[in-house]
Amino acid sequence: MANTIVWVHGDCLDPHGPALAAHPGAPAIWVWDDALLAEWRLSLKRIVFIYESLLELPVVIRRGDVATQLRRFADEQGATTIATAQSPSPRFAALSRELRHTHTVEVLPVAPFLAYQGTIDLKRFSRYWATAERYVFDKTAQS
């Protein structure tokens, strides 16, 4: 059994993300967060996008309370460590603190998608992308 599981969350749905890369072959999990789904009332379009992204990752998909599901999965795998990618989310920080009561939590840094020091509206992807696109594709914008 693996000593480490990988927690894939919404801020790093990357098959080459730091936790999956650092622990190739380790059991990985995604948890549909019931509380967050109720609070954020995500559109069906966004849920389908996330689900389709998950189908390209080597993850077990569960639903419920995130900390409970992560602990249960770690215990099933005989794992003492939960590895994951960092996130700026306060909810992520709270979950990580809670998980540290029973498991080692390894939070790995995520390489930035773009070099930008200004403010970007993260509430809607289209607003984010309107700013980010220049820095991703237009090399002159980065000078």
pLDDT given at position 140: 58
Domains defined along the chain, listed by start: 4-111 (3.40.50.620), 113-143 (no CATH)
Q: Which of 93, 85, 79 minimizes the C-alpha distance to 14?
A: 85
**Is the pLDDT reported for residue 125 higher than 80?**
no
With both helix axes pointing from N to C terminus, report the angle between 66-77 and 90-99 in degrees, rounded to the nearest 10: 40
pLDDT given at position 139: 58
Compute the distance between CA of residue 51 and CA of residue 70 in angstroms, rounded to an integer. 18
Average pLDDT over residues 73-95: 96
pLDDT given at position 87: 93
Q: How many Cβ atoms are within 10 Å of 73's Cβ, its own excluded?
A: 19
Q: 107-122: per-residue pLDDT in tens?
A: 999 987 767 777 776 6
Compute the distance between CA of residue 64 and CA of residue 72 in angstroms, rounded to an integer. 11
Written as six digits, the tokens of 60 are 């077990």
Strand runs labelled E in 1-143: 4-7, 28-33, 60-64, 81-85, 104-108
Instruction: Tell me, yes or no, if the pTM score tops 0.85.
Output: no
